[in-house]
Structure 1
Amino acid sequence: MNDLVTERLVLHPMTVGEAERLAAGVPPGGARWAPGYPADGDVFAAGRFLDICATTGDPWPFGTFEIRLRENGQAIGGLGFHGPSDANGSVTIGYGLVPSARGKGYASEALRELLLFTRAHGATRVKGDADHDNIASQHVMTAAGMRPTGEDERVRYFEIAWT
């Protein structure tokens, strides 16, 4: 499992051990966590990843990634998949950044790279959603090439599909 590298970021695929430490709030030796990391969403994603690993095995390539700054290796957030692809090749994604990293284009940069990776690994569709009042997250998905597909009383849905 190699890191995915962008201009400013490293997307590091988490191992079971790393997810266990993150869920427990214990940084691995030498790792730097930005203030506020891990957030509740990162802990939840690590727990979901661990549950999937325990019940069906490692979902690679559709696991959980830690977002790190290339310049110093500091963890600033996470992104990944809610589980392995379904029978139609569809996956659902989620992501989040610590407040100090927001507004700098990191989430869009990370999501664009994850979408390229996802397509290269056989997915045919990627879905995501954002609360109605989370305009920033909606902009992240559209900046990465995802398009709105509907909404309900709570969220707006986005997706990108490849034939």
Structure 2
Amino acid sequence: MEPLLTQRLVLLPLDADRARLLATGTPAPGDRCAEGYPEVGDRAGAERYLRVLADTGDPAPYGAFEIQRRSDGLLIGGAGFHGPADGQGRVTVGYGLVPAARGLGYAAEALRALLEHARAHGAVSVSGDTGRENTASQHVMAAAGMIPVGEDERLLYYAVSWGGQPTGS
């Protein structure tokens, strides 16, 4: 997979080697990391990516990414898909940033890039969820164009759909 570029970010695709390091909380040699990177969520995302690789093979184009700030080259978080598209062309997304990078619009910018990437590669919908108390994440999904589609006692569910049938990747 190629990196995804936005105005302020580069989403760097994970591969198995980087994911193994990240899952242990160790950045790759030479990486420049913001304070606190990788966080627990970044490690969990790398572990999920490794499980997908083991269970179903490379999920490309629906893989996982590290988020790098273009202005200084620091890794500030992670984002990506939870696995390949299902038979109906649906994918699930997640994201997270270190505390110092939150509240600056980076998460919504990264999420918009993922949504555009998914649509360009044939996904017909993207879903995500967040804790009821996580208003920041709710704002991120809304800012990226996702709408609330359901809830349970713990989570709020968001999605965006483009209709039609999956076109493949």
Smaller-chain TM-score range? over 0.9
- Name the residue aligned to 1:112: 112
TM-score normalised over the length of structure 2: 0.94
Alignment of 1:60-99 (within 5 A): 60-99=60-99
Q: Aligned AA for 1:68?
A: Q
Shift of 1:25: 2.1
Alpha-carbon deviations, 1:73-100, whole Å to 9, x = none?
2110001111111110001111000000
Shift of 1:131: 0.7
Alpha-carbon deviations, 1:39-92, whole Å to 9, x = none?
111101101111111121110111111000011221100011111111100011
In structure 2, how many angstroms separate the alpha carbons of the residues matched to 1:87 and 1:79? 22
Classify the secondary structure of the residue corresponding to 2:17: helix
- Name the residue aligned to 2:126: 126
- Name the residue aligned to 1:11: 11
Q: Which runs of 5+ in 1 are unaligned?
A: none
Q: Which runs of 5+ in 2 are unaligned?
A: 164-169
Alpha-carbon deviations, 1:127-161, whole Å to 9, x = none?
01111110010000000000001111001110000
- Name the residue aligned to 1:55: 55
Kept in 1: contact 2:26–2:38 (CA 8 A): no
Kept in 1: contact 2:27–2:38 (CA 8 A): no
In structure 1, how many angstroms separate the alpha carbons of the residues matched to 2:162 and 2:120? 11
Kept in 1: contact 2:132–2:156 (CA 8 A): yes
Identity %: 57
- Off by >2 Å, runs of 4+ in structure 1: none
**Aligned-pair Cα RMSD in Å:** 0.8
Shift of 1:23: 1.0
Kept in 1: contact 2:32–2:74 (CA 8 A): yes
In structure 1, how many angstroms separate the alpha carbons of the residues matched to 2:80 and 2:138? 17
Shift of 1:126: 0.3
Aligned length: 163
1:160 counterpart = 2:160: yes
